Structure 1
Amino acid sequence: MSDSQANDILVSFRGVQKSYDGEALIVKDLNLDIRKGEFLTLLGPSGSGKTTSLMMLAGFETPTAGEILLDGKAINNVPPHKRNIGMVFQNYALFPHMTVAENMAFPLSVRGMNKTDIHERVKRSLAMVQLDKFRHRYPGQLSGGQQQRVALARALVFEPQLVLMDEPLGALDKQLREHMQMEIKHIHERLGVTVVYVTHDQGEALTMSDRVAVFHQGEIQQIAPPRDLYEAPSNTFVAHFIGENNRLPGTLVSRDGERCSVKLARGENVQALAVKVGASGEPVSLSIRPERVRLNAASENCANRFSGRVAEFIYLGDHVRIRMEVCGNPNFFVKQPIAELDPALGVGDVVPLGWHVEHVRALDPLLAE
């Protein structure tokens, strides 16, 4: 890594492990560089180690092994309040006996700032989340979304270099949640602060982040920009965890550079991208996104062409999910925009379908969960 790249790194996890009982590792061997100004999301199912990693960075948990660097300095032994890190949690953690303005002023007064500067800074931060006129209200007089915006403004008010957010939108309803996702994303873009965000919601991670680190069983499975993660998952766990995914188990027949040939259980042959495969004769799992499957005439120039029986239509407003039986999989989904749906297509119809080689990935077989 060049010096300029090294200067670009704000946080480094180096060989970090965490165990609570001295045996089971919740975080196995975390090596992760977080760049200045980036919005990085730690995504994974519960128990995957993402929150524990965030808590070690915040200083509420201590690594069992390895070290965490902030701006090039080890912070393993620095207490949380001396790390210059803003935090936003799901439960807001506002002081109920203080007004909005007093809540906002608290992190500034503990840092010894004078009254005039505090007043200015609080005003500016509340304006940023459009809550200036609520400054004299108490948290109990605000809606959930307003409280969360105060918590966000309070985490930003002392201009930290790093803001950590742990499922901050988990308690909000869907519409408000989506509104807040954009709000946080825009504030991040305006301020250029580094954000590390934890969620188990893959849609949220894809919408908001510059990069996403997918955690599973205490390890990062893949770290990449949202689009790469969705379009080019590096293993079956990532393919399955992010977005919808059709899986077809098979056996590797042969490999030729980036491409391979896979035989399915019933004997069909599929040409696929060889992403994570072993030797010929070993099991693989094929991954195909539902929106990449072509039906009827649209499938004519696909290298992989089969037939499928329509089992069910699931309408979702702007698009429809069609559950089909394909190559022995009774739950193979095809996703089509309503505008492209053939109105004559009905349940029980058997139709040709296909997909291009570049849209099917041969990955590791999915082991029993």
Structure 2
Amino acid sequence: MEQQTQSDTLVSFRGVQKSYDGDSLVVKRLDLDIRRGEFLTLLGPSGSGKTTVLMMLAGFESPTAGEIRLDGQLLNRMPPHKRGIGMVFQNYALFPHMTVGDNVAYPLTVRSVAKAQIAERVQKALGMVELGKLAHRYPSQLSGGQQQRVALARALVFEPKLVLMDEPLGALDKQLREHMQLEIKHIHQTLGVTVVFVTHDQSEALTMSDRVAVFKDGIIQQIDSPAALYETPANSFVAQFIGENNVLAGQVVSLDNGYCVARVEGQDLSARAICVNAPGDATTLSIRPERVRLDQAAAACDNRIEGTLTETIYLGDHVRLRVNVPGQPNFFIKVPIADLTDSMQRHGARLTLGWRREDLRALDAA
């Protein structure tokens, strides 16, 4: 692994804790380095601590313990307006009485930037989000997507080292949200600014991020690239939270060289040993729906089980099959349309399922 130097780190959290009542911790001893120029997403369910981490970095909340540094400078007691951080909120937080141009100019005005320079930088920022012709309109005259673009331009106009985004796309419809995901990603790649993005939407996190930190109960469960989180989850929570996942409850029979044999409903299955330590351990076996092979293709697989087809769901480019297998009545399989056979569409049909042992992961008991 490539060693990270001090200059690669823009933000560091060391031993950071946060409690609102002096008793329970919302964030529990957070140690986190955010790399210069990266797009880092904080992902997790409601109440997991991700938004609290963002608010402490922005300066709207203070840590109960520990240190937060930006470019080596201690932030703990520095007020928000002196941190030089851009911020984009879900509700846009635009000034309704100001034009689009004046909203974007506001961060420059409060920093006493020269008027001629303000006009030039506002036009540049609005051009970046494709709103150059709407500078004289008011927020009420814009669509939700346009308002979010204005908020993004305002966060970028003073060229901050760091931009924080708190569920900025949550109020948009699905199609516009997906479009804005790509727009923000492209702007990030063009500018090279460091972005910390908070969301509870795992597909959004996978689409946009260089790295994703998955939070649960105030603790980072895993921080990794989207591909690594999906393909090699560190525990059963990450496996369930990121993407679709099939689980089988079992018990470890034996371990050997990074693999194990686990017994599920009287049948032995071979898997990567991730969160198991000894024979007798309870385990959750995890397999992604697209890794499962059927019938003839299953014959060459390390693991094979029998199941009964209970539902076929048509999704255009693929179908999802719901199969009742031993110990799991809701086992899902993704099958490309081109590979669909008649037997995969007859409810009640008996199917042979198979997968490689490399694709099955023995995780902690859920």
**Fold shared per TM-score above 0.5:** yes
**CA offsets, 1:232-290, max 9 Å, x none?**
001000000000111000111110011100011x2100000001113211101100000
Structure 1 segment 124-273 matched on structure 2, within 5 A: 124-264=124-264, 266-273=265-272
For 1:61, what is the secondary structure of its paired residue?
coil
The answer to whether residue 47 in structure 2 is matched with residue 47 in structure 1 is: yes
For 2:46, what is the secondary structure of its paired residue?
coil
The residue aligned with 2:13 is 13
C-alpha separation in 1, matches of 2:302 and 2:33: 40
Aligned AA (1:110): V
C-alpha separation in 2, matches of 1:248 and 1:314: 22
The residue aligned with 1:108 is 108
Contact 2:249–2:327 (CA under 8 A) maintained in structure 1: no
The residue aligned with 1:341 is 340
Contact 2:212–2:224 (CA under 8 A) maintained in structure 1: yes
Shift of the alpha carbon at 1:344?
A: 3.8
Aligned AA (1:271): S
Aligned AA (1:267): G
The answer to whether residue 305 in structure 2 is matched with residue 282 in structure 1 is: no
Moved beyond 6 Å, runs of 4+: 1-4
Shift of the alpha carbon at 1:316?
A: 1.3
Alpha-carbon distance change, 318 to 3 in structure 1, aligned in 2, over 3 angstroms? closer
Shift of the alpha carbon at 1:327?
A: 2.1
The residue aligned with 1:90 is 90
C-alpha separation in 1, matches of 2:28 and 2:342: 52
Structure 1 segment 57-72 matched on structure 2, within 5 A: 57-72=57-72
Shift of the alpha carbon at 1:3?
A: 9.3
C-alpha separation in 1, matches of 2:247 and 2:230: 15
**CA offsets, 1:198-228, max 9 Å, x none?**
0000000000000000000000000000000
For 1:300, what is the secondary structure of its paired residue?
helix
The answer to whether residue 317 in structure 2 is matched with residue 332 in structure 1 is: no
Shift of the alpha carbon at 1:4?
A: 6.7
Shift of the alpha carbon at 1:140?
A: 0.3
C-alpha separation in 2, matches of 1:111 and 1:4: 34
Give the TM-score normalised by the residue count of structure 2. Answer: 0.98
**CA offsets, 1:297-340, max 9 Å, x none?**
00111110111110001111111110001122100001111111
Contact 2:293–2:355 (CA under 8 A) maintained in structure 1: yes
C-alpha separation in 1, matches of 2:262 and 2:96: 61
Give the TM-score normalised by the residue count of structure 1. Answer: 0.98
Counting aligned pairs with the same residue, the percent is: 67
C-alpha separation in 1, matches of 2:178 and 2:351: 38
Alpha-carbon distance change, 325 to 204 in structure 1, aligned in 2, over 3 angstroms? same
C-alpha separation in 1, matches of 2:105 and 2:216: 39
Shift of the alpha carbon at 1:343?
A: 3.0
Shift of the alpha carbon at 1:173?
A: 0.2
Aligned AA (1:68): I
C-alpha separation in 1, matches of 2:45 and 2:217: 9
For 2:26, what is the secondary structure of its paired residue?
strand
Contact 2:252–2:263 (CA under 8 A) maintained in structure 1: yes
The residue aligned with 1:300 is 299
Number of aligned residue pairs: give it: 365
**CA offsets, 1:58-90, max 9 Å, x none?**
000000000101001111011000001000000
Shift of the alpha carbon at 1:2?
A: 9.9
The residue aligned with 1:364 is 364
Aligned AA (2:317): D
Aligned AA (1:18): K
C-alpha separation in 1, matches of 2:342 and 2:107: 60
Structure 1: gaps of 5 or more residues: none
C-alpha separation in 2, matches of 1:241 and 1:106: 39
* Residue range with higher mean Cα deviation, 334-343 or 202-211: 334-343
C-alpha separation in 2, matches of 1:343 and 1:318: 17
